[in-house]
Chain A
Amino acid sequence: MNFDFSDDLKQLKDEARTFLEDKCPSSAVRKVLESDSTHDAALWREIGAMGWTGAAIPEDYGGAGLGHLGLCILAEELGRALAPVPFSSSIYYAAEAILAFGTDAQKKAWLPRLASGETIGTFALAEGPGKATPKRLRATFRNGVLTGEKLPVPDGESAAMTIVVAQTDRGLGLVIVDLASPGVTRAPIETFDPSRKHARLTFRDTPAELLGPPGDGERQLAAIEQRAAILLAFEQVGGAQRCLEMAKDYALERYAFGRPIGSFQAIKHKLADMYVAIELARSNAYYGAWALSKNAPQLALAAATARVSATEAFHFASKENIQVHGGMGYTWAFDCHLFYRRSKLLAVANGSARLWKDRLVTELENANAPA
């Protein structure tokens, strides 16, 4: 049994944490949250220069070839730091989708630029509130051009390219759009967590090209969401862990009734419950990492399990962290709300827990409960 990350990857994790504690303190997150900047451009440049963006991209396409276990490690640290950079959009979605479904030409065209971080990519699925079911999506790709509106698109303002889920003559499909193309308009949109910016993207007869066969969009989308679910689970576990640490520190330093509030069982039990939820989520995320790195047949079930576990752990930890902090936790000045916001952003970013629970049970039905 060797259900753990290698020593090399643990070292990478330590380095990533040290780097982010220095370059991405909460003041850096607040700078993006409280301004119109799309992201922390300086941090993004350094992340690209260190090769994080290319971690799971093969060396043939300009990546570091560290594999997905390395990417999971980085995701946890980025989640912990609430890094205000387009990492998930560009890497978990755009790069992963091209890696999975691109032609060699498409890979050569896009992956080196995504790997270096010089190009920001994203993924455009939603068209307003409600689940983006194949029936409800209106964006249409026909005769080589795309028309429609996508909202919200994460990092839609800063991205240079996007993958769009659109109707084709043969059903749902994925298309790649260079956002410098004609017919593209973009506008920022107000969101719950402005530390990660979102936009409204409109396409009018915008040139685009298919990614993978037309009509295969549902299967492609499922695969992309499964892989992203595992990577996001690591971000969520990282964020949740930080919430527990904040709550713990505050419970030790805050006195009431003549003693640290951490000596009261009401607080202790809350912290213990946070700990349990996070440990379960971490273990489920590890299993997801294994499935992702091996492209294992259990990937779909592992992704749903990791996703549900991590989403609920982060939600629980971020709300109870505010509770432990009492009134101070509700102030703008304390960092608790940064995690509370991010927790909900990540909870809806890749399909809600409700949705993934249903998928999980579908997998159980299909797989007849594998080992």
Chain B
Amino acid sequence: MDFEDTKEEAEFRARARNFLQKNARPRTGKGMLYRAAQADEGILREALEWQTKKYEAGFAGITWPKEWGGQGGTAIQQVIYDQEEAQFSVPRGIYDIGLGMCIPTVCTWGSQDVRDRYAVKALRGEEVWCQLFSEPAGGSDLAALRTSAVRDGDDWIINGQKIWTSGAHYCQYGVIVTRSDFDAPKHKGLTYFFLDMRSPGVEVRGIKQISGASHFNEVFFDNVRIPDSQRLGKVGDGWKVSLTTLMNERYTIGGRAGVDVDEFVELARGIEIEDGPALRNAAIRERIADWYVASRGLKYSHFRTMTALSRGDTPGPESSIGKLVTGRKLQDMSAMALDLLEQGGVVTDPEVAPMAALFHQTLLTSPSSRIAGGSDEIMRNIIAERVLGMPPDMRVDKDVPFNKVPTGKG
């Protein structure tokens, strides 16, 4: 039992570190990672430059097969690269969904011609992709989606609305799952496409989040034409294709929280409460220990996952718990941090608020980590059903034609 790299891993790590040292600034402080929540022109340009550099140095698409334009490397190499990159201040978040979820689906289900046209462009960062899945009537219950696709000659005509689409406002392409048959049961009437986001009839409207930022959008489709050549999988097989996208989701979302126990300890050390520094208070210490135990439990679970990857095994179910543990911890920790500041806890002015209002930001962003990419409730269902083998819930809409399924208002 040890934490050492194998010889090959150590060589790969050294190569990654060397590339990063030559091309990126080390991360300073323990604040938020450099993330592009509000992607303006400048950030997009920096992200593109960085992604192109990564591609040219062989650190983009590390695990992708060569026929997709990837490096044909191993999952452990990707983990090692990510560990090293986390030590540097580089643009993040712009390409995660496209490279993590969309392009793997396009390459799995598309022809070699399609791969040749889109994969490398995406890897170089020249084309950004978004995932058009959730709808107002289909979130956790994704297969309840209603955006329609109607065949018209060599095209399909798309009408409807998607929601929570991260990055749609700066993406050139998207993958979309639609309903092509309203008479079939809900999982059977879906068809999957990719499309040019600049197609006529696509309208993107930002959604203002509770944090004030607008990271994701509503996307409206008004008679948007998609050529049949951009269909992925057979007509009616859209659910099957969607699963390829969703399988990759847990690797994409979550796990990169900017605040953890160390920051809380730092805050508690500096804040005076009734009996001295908060760090000396028994109730606060108990909470710190709880969060530390959760945080370390996850870290060491990650080590177990890495061990499996390092041996070429598929990681066990321990890798599925991260999002569930982290979301709750972030929310509780940031709420307690503001409590320590008493009435001053309301102030978010970064000149006044400790740690440049890091905990305030986290309090407002943490609810999303309990919802995005599978809500806490869905994650528990997944663990209970797929890991523990519990039977699926009873489904009143199963085997019923979609247009006969009961719905609420709206």
Q: In chain A, what residue has the closest Cβ to B263? A: A369
Q: In chain A, what residue has the closest Cβ to B318? A: A279
Q: In chain B, what residue has the closest Cβ to A277? A: B297
Interface size on A (CB < 8 Å)? 50
B301, A4: Cβ atoms under 8 Å? no
Q: Which of A4, A279, A286 has the most CB of B within 10 A?
A: A279
Binds A, one of B123-131, B183-191, B216-224, B285-293: B285-293
Interface hits, A202-222 → B, CB 8 Å: none
Interface majority SS (helix, strand, loop, mixed), chain B:
helix
Given A283-B301, A361-B289, also A276-B324 (CB < 8 A): yes
Given A251-B390, A272-B383, also A3-B293 (CB < 8 A): no
A280, B380: Cβ atoms under 8 Å? no
Q: In chain B, what residue has the closest Cβ to A304? A: B289
Q: How large is the interface on B (under 10, 10 to 19, 20 to 34, 35 or more residues)?
A: 35 or more
B1, A280: Cβ atoms under 8 Å? no
- Enumerate chain B residues within 8 angstroms of A34, measured Cβ to Cβ: none
- Enumerate chain A residues within 8 angstroms of B301, measured Cβ to Cβ: 279-280, 283
B2 within 8 A of A: yes
- Interface readout for B384-405 with A: 1 if CB under 8 Å, 0 if not? 1101111111100000000000
Binds A, one of B167-175, B235-243, B303-311: B303-311
- Enumerate chain B residues within 8 angstroms of A357, measured Cβ to Cβ: 285-286, 289-290
B304, A262: Cβ atoms under 8 Å? no
**Distance in angstroms between the alpha carbons of A308 and B304 in the assembled complex:** 20
Binds B, one of A83-91, A127-135, A185-193, A263-271: A263-271
B262 within 8 A of A: yes
B261 within 8 A of A: yes
- Enumerate chain A residues within 8 angstroms of B210, measured Cβ to Cβ: none
B298, A2: Cβ atoms under 8 Å? no
Given A357-B286, A360-B289, also A5-B1 (CB < 8 A): yes
B384, A4: Cβ atoms under 8 Å? no
A358 within 8 A of B: yes
Q: Which of A269, A275, A312, A354 has the most CB of B within 10 A?
A: A275
Q: In chain A, what residue has the closest Cβ to B300? A: A283
The 9 lowest CB-CB distance pairs between A and B, nearest first, are: A280-B297, A357-B289, A268-B384, A283-B300, A272-B380, A3-B303, A272-B383, A262-B390, A283-B301
Pull 13 A–B residue pairs with CB atoms less than 8 Å apart, ordered by A. A1-B9, A260-B391, A262-B384, A263-B392, A263-B393, A265-B377, A272-B381, A279-B297, A282-B318, A283-B297, A358-B289, A361-B279, A369-B261
